């Protein structure tokens, strides 16, 4: 309406009808009054337009200063207008049902529900280059590999300084840059539980600092670290270190075809390792795939005495809906028996190869699958479906059992020498936040774990059917 009046006024003014002082009508008081009214209206319209203009300018300026509140697929958070400051809340909840095929009750594992991970994450950015992340754990986890328990604790608490893509520093409690599968998020892993490589050999989380970065257009990444140190598969606490010996970590990983249109675009490979020298090192127990039972443990009093070196070549490959991850880890650990009479260097290793195939055609990646057509009742979308399969082994150095009774590092009646596991699974991603998963895994143990000294028998096979409901945002 304003526009119309404005246009009419302008047209009239332009035509000279209202302004023509020489017009015969000019002397007519009515025409003069009408002319004045039109001019007043013209001013009013201009004022209104200018006010709108100013309001729009102010709104645009305010928008530049107003923090952006985000509540959407990427999570919940708030960000300063210039993006220099950000705070967000993320979360991961995993509710599992664990079913053991254990008719003879030869193990003490029970069927039942468990809240595997309950992790709110508070993370953010300060001044555009300093990131922080704080994640407590309220779920059933105890990855110290020294027992079982339900310990609420800080699982991640660290600060990153991103000074340059090639030079970043992280300090606090976090996943050391070592294991490939370990570096996958807890909500992104393809199987319900990680492999022996992650859970039994390589460190889970450390307390320390790392320098890391990306080079050559992010085709090569590196990391070196310095940590209090933890035993195989272990997670450090946030308490003061029990000794002065430290773990040194290093990793290089390359994705040489990243950004190209080659079929190898999704290929990445590298190698990582850790080193420590400790005369008082505690030693781990190695868990079965269920993560509830130990198939190998050192005899009481056996300790790490000397160097521990871990080496882990690792690779992944993703092409379309297909993905594969392969990882090997070997730990060379100097040990001493309880009596202090025998020293040895034990070489334990583990490896895995896991493949995934997204049946609904979405691209596979190191991260979780994003369904093209999320599942919604009454609509056509069925989310994304993914088949997974894995074979993995964990092998204990035979020397752990070979020493004469009394001086052994491990008891063949309670510990097995090898664990060989195959597993399959199905993941249903209802949408990018909700996932249902089920896995079947069967493990064959060899080289002990049962029987008597006169008749050492292999530990009974473990057959597990695990299911999971996962929320991740």
Partner 1 sequence: MKTIIHHLRSAAVALALAAPLAASAADISLLNVSYDPTRELYQDFNAAFAKYWKAKTGDNVTIKASHGGSGKQGRAIIDGLEADVATLALAYDIDALYEKGKLIPKDWQKRLPHNSSPYTSTIVFLVRKGNPKNIKDWDDIARPGISVVTPNPKTSGGARWNYLAAWAYGQRKFNNDETKTREFIGKILKNVPVLDSGARGATTTFVERGIGDVLLAWENEAFLAQKELGPDKFEIVVPSLSILAEPPVTVVDKVVNKRGTRAVAEAYLQYLYTEEGQEIAAKNYYRPTLESVAKKYEKNFPKLNLVTVDSEFGGWQKAQKTHFSDGGTFDQIYLK
Q: Is 28 in the site for partner 1 (CB under 8 A)?
A: no
Residue 397 bridge partners (DSSP): none
Least distance to partner 1, CB of residue 51, Å = 5
Exactly one of 46, 62, 63, 372 binds partner 1 (CB under 8 A); that residue is 46
56-95 residues in contact with partner 1 (CB under 8 A) are: 57-58
Cα–Cα distance, 382 to 404 (Å, whole number):
60
Of 3 and 108, nearer to partner 1 (C-beta) is 3
Shortest distance, position 40 Cβ to partner 1, whole Å: 9
32 counts as binding partner 1 under rule CB under 8 A: no
CA distance 311 to 2: 76
Residue with Cβ nearer partner 1 (43 or 152):
43
* Secondary structure of the chain in HEC code, one letter for each residue: CHHHHHHHHHHHHHHCCCCCCCCCCCCCHHHHHHHHHHHHHHHHHHHHHHHHHHHHHHHHHHHHHCCEEEEECCEEEEECCCCCCEEEEEEEEEEEEEEECCCCCCCCCCCEEEEEEEEEEEEEEECCCEEEEEEEECCCCCCCCCCCCCCCEEEEEEEEEEEECCEEEEEEEECCCCCCCCCCCCCCCCCCCCCHHHHHHCCCEEEEEEEEEEECCCCEEEEEEEECCCCCCCECCCCCCCCCCCEEEEEEEECCCCCCCCCCCCEEEEEEEEEEEEEEECCCEEECCCCCCEEEEECCCCEEEEEEEEEEEEEEEEECCEEEEEEEEEEEEEEECCCCCCEEEEEEEEEEEEEEEECCCCCCCCCCCCCCCCCCCCCCCCCEEEEEEEEEEEECCCHHHHCCCCCCCECCCCCCCEEEEEEEEEEEECCCCEEEEEEEEEEEEECCEEECCCCEEECCCEEEEEEEEEEEC
Q: How far is the CB of 44 from partner 1 (least distance, A)?
A: 8
Segment interacting with partner 1 (CB under 8 A) among 47-55, 112-120, 394-402, 463-471? 47-55
- Minimum CB distance to partner 1 smaller for 47 or for 242: 47
Q: Which is nearer to partner 1, 44 or 457 (CB)?
A: 44
Q: Is 51 in the site for partner 1 (CB under 8 A)?
A: yes
Residue (10 or 152) nearer to partner 1, CB: 10
Considering the complex, what minimum distance in angstroms separates the CB of residue 309 from partner 1? 47
> What distance, in Å, lies between the first and last C-alpha atoms of the chain?
48
Cβ-based nearer residue to partner 1, 83 or 361 = 83
- Nearest approach in angstroms of CB 46 to partner 1 is 5
Nearer to partner 1, 43 or 238 (CB): 43
Find the shortest distance in angstroms from Cβ 50 to partner 1.
5
Q: CB under 8 A: which stretch of 39-47, 170-178, 245-253, 322-330 binds partner 1? A: 39-47
CB closer to partner 1 out of 42 and 245:
42
Q: Which of 14, 33, 54, 216 binds partner 1 (CB under 8 A)?
A: 54
Q: By C-beta, is 39 or 436 nearer to partner 1?
A: 39
Q: How far is the CB of 385 from partner 1 (least distance, A)?
A: 50
With CA atoms as reference, report the closest residue to 294 among 410, 453, 147: 147
Counting residues that bind partner 1 (by CB under 8 A) gives 10
Structure tokens given for 330: 């070997």
Which of residues 28, 49, 110, 446 is near partner 1 by CB under 8 A? 49
- Give me the least distance between CB of 57 and partner 1, in Å please: 8
Q: Which of 2, 15, 43, 66 forms a contact with partner 1 (CB under 8 A)?
A: 43
Cβ proximity to partner 1: between 62 and 457 the closer is: 62
Tokens for 56, please give them: 């729009």
Rounded Cα distance between 392 and 394, Å, is: 7
> Among 44-52, 181-189, 335-343, 461-469, which window interacts with partner 1 (CB under 8 A)?
44-52
CB of 58 to partner 1, least distance (A): 7
Q: How far is CA 185 from CA 78, 127, 188, 386, in A?
A: 23, 26, 5, 18
Least distance to partner 1, CB of residue 14, Å: 14
**Out of 14, 33, 47, 216, the residue judged to bind partner 1 by CB under 8 A:** 47
Site residues (CB under 8 A) for partner 1? 43, 46-47, 49-51, 53-54, 57-58
């Amino acid at each position: 309406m304003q526009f119309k009046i404005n246009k009419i006024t302008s047209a009239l003014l332009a035509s000279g009808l209202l302004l023509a002082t020489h017009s015969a009508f000019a002397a007519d008081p009515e025409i003069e009054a009408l002319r004045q009214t039109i001019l007043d209206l013209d001013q009013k319209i201009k004022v209104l337009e200018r006010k709108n203009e100013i309001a729009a300018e102010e709104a645009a300026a305010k928008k530049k200063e107003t923090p952006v509140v985000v509540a959407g697929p990427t999570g919940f958070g708030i960000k300063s207008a210039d993006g220099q400051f950000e705070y967000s809340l993320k979360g991961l909840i995993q509710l599992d049902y664990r079913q053991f095929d254990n008719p003879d009750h030869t193990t003490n594992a029970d069927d039942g529900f468990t809240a595997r991970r309950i992790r709110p994450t508070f993370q953010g950015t300060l001044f555009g280059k300093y990131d922080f992340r704080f994640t407590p754990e309220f779920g059933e986890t105890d990855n110290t590999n020294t027992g079982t328990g339900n310990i609420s604790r800080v699982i991640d608490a660290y600060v990153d300084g991103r000074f340059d893509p090639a030079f970043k520093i992280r300090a606090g409690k976090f996943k050391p840059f070592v294991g490939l599968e370990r570096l996958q998020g807890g909500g992104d892993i393809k199987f319900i539980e990680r492999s022996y490589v992650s859970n039994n050999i390589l460190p889970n989380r450390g307390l320390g600092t790392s320098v890391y970065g990306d080079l050559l257009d992010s085709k090569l990444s590196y990391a070196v670290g310095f940590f209090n140190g933890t035993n195989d598969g272990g997670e450090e606490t946030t308490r003061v270190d029990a000794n002065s010996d430290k773990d040194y970590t290093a990793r290089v990983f390359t994705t040489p075809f990243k950004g190209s249109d080659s079929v190898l675009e999704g290929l990445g490979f590298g190698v990582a390792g850790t080193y420590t020298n400790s005369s008082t090192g505690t030693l781990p127990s190695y868990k079965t795939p269920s993560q509830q039972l130990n198939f190998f443990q050192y005899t009481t009093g056996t300790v790490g005495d000397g160097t521990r070196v871990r080496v882990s070549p690792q690779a992944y490959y993703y092409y379309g809906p297909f993905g594969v991850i392969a990882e090997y880890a070997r730990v060379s650990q100097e040990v001493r028996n309880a009596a202090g009479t025998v020293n040895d260097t034990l070489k334990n290793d583990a490896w895995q190869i896991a493949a995934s195939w997204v049946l609904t055609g979405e691209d596979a990646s190191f991260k979780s699958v994003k369904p093209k057509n999320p599942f919604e009742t009454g609509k056509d979308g069925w989310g994304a479906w993914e088949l997974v399969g894995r074979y993995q082994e964990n092998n204990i150095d035979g020397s752990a059992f070979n020493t004469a009774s009394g001086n052994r590092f491990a008891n063949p009646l309670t510990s097995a020498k090898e664990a060989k596991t195959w597993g399959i699974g199905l993941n249903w991603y209802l949408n990018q936040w909700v996932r249902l998963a089920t896995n079947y895994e069967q493990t064959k143990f060899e080289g002990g774990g049962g029987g008597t000294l006169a008749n050492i028998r292999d530990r009974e096979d473990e057959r597990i059917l695990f299911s999971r409901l996962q929320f991740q945002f």
